[in-house]
Amino acid sequence: MDATPHIPLPWDTIDTVLLDLDGTLLDLRFDNHFFLEHLPQRLAAHWDLSDEEARAELRRRYERVAGTLDWYCLDYWQRELELDLVALKHEVGHLVNWRPHAPEFLDALGTAGKRRVLATNAHPGSMGFKFERLALGARFEARYTSHDFGAPKEHAAFWDRLHEREGFRPERTLFVDDNPHVLAAARDWGIGHLVGIRLPDSTAPANPLQGFAAVDHLDVLLPGARDPRR
């Protein structure tokens, strides 16, 4: 695959950087492995099903709430599946890891005086689980989950409530995310600068993210980054 071209962002006109967590700053490998492999195996044992039956049942339940707040809600899934998901996540917690260049990107933003705001759909319990493993907390001026606002990032209500809380200027704000539906919602709401992540999972193929400027890794967004094609 060709190297990601440098995206020359107008950093002198950007004050606030809104950042997704899973698939943008953190490798989505953990979440994909947990929900598509580890959880079905534990569910199969809990419900006395075959692995394939458990996967099929989970797929049905995932599809039923996709794009809603319940999709991202740890409490919902613990009630729905009758399992302690936090305990199960600890079993594969060693897979929680940064995406390439993410810590350096956050540190460079801080040095440049940009306001770093975490904007995630992750449940507070899931977010806290990952914050325990990585030095995340000190690298943000503020952090919010969709559960704070009662609406996922796919809905305009999330952006309304985040704006009420933060007071950022949309035209001077950058948002980085790996989900095309979320990026579209942010664009429709009026966020001025949008960048997608093409490689959210280090073990999966690239996501082309058609219709959005997109990068493989965050190093090419740094102020002064060189175009790797040169």
Whether the per-residue pLDDT at 7 is higher than 80: the answer is: no
104 with 211, same domain: the answer is yes
Question: Do the domain assignments include residue 4?
Answer: no
**Residue 40 · residue 83 · CB < 8 Å:** no
83 with 123, same domain: the answer is no
Average pLDDT over all residues of the chain: 91
Which of 183, 201, 187, 195 is CA-nearest to residue 219? 195
From edge to edge, which strands make up the β-sheet containing 214-215? Answer: 142-145, 115-120, 16-19, 173-177, 193-197, 214-215
Question: Do the domain assignments include residue 158?
Answer: yes
135 with 178, same domain: the answer is yes
Question: Do the domain assignments include residue 46?
Answer: yes
Task: Using the 3D structure, point to which of 94, 117, 134 is the last residue of a domain.
Answer: 94
Question: Do the domain assignments include residue 3?
Answer: no
Whether the per-residue pLDDT at 225 is higher than 70: the answer is: no
Task: Using the 3D structure, point to which of 94, 113, 148 is the last residue of a domain.
Answer: 94
Look up the pTM and report it.
Answer: 0.92
78 with 128, same domain: the answer is no
Question: Do the domain assignments include residue 1?
Answer: no
**13-50 burial string, b = 16+ CB within 10 Å, else e?**
ebebbbbbbbbbbbbbbbbbbbeeebbbebbbeeeeee
81 with 174, same domain: the answer is no
120 with 143, same domain: the answer is yes
Percent of the chain with pLDDT over 70: 94
191 with 80, same domain: the answer is no
Quote the pLDDT of residue 143: 96
42 with 88, same domain: the answer is yes
123 with 34, same domain: the answer is no
**Residue 195 · residue 174 · CB < 8 Å:** yes
Q: Find the domain containing 153 and state its range.
A: 11-27+97-221
Domain at 207, CATH number: 3.40.50.1000
Work out how many domains the chain is built from and give that number. 2
The residue to which tokens 């801080």 are assigned: 110
Question: Do the domain assignments include residue 82?
Answer: yes
- The mean pLDDT value for 167-188 works out to 97
61 with 118, same domain: the answer is no
Write out pLDDT tens, residues 48-83: 999 999 999 999 999 999 889 999 999 999 999 999
Write out pLDDT tens, residues 110-143: 999 999 999 999 999 889 889 989 988 889 999 9
176 with 150, same domain: the answer is yes
86 with 102, same domain: the answer is no
Task: Using the 3D structure, point to which of 94, 127, 144 is the last residue of a domain.
Answer: 94
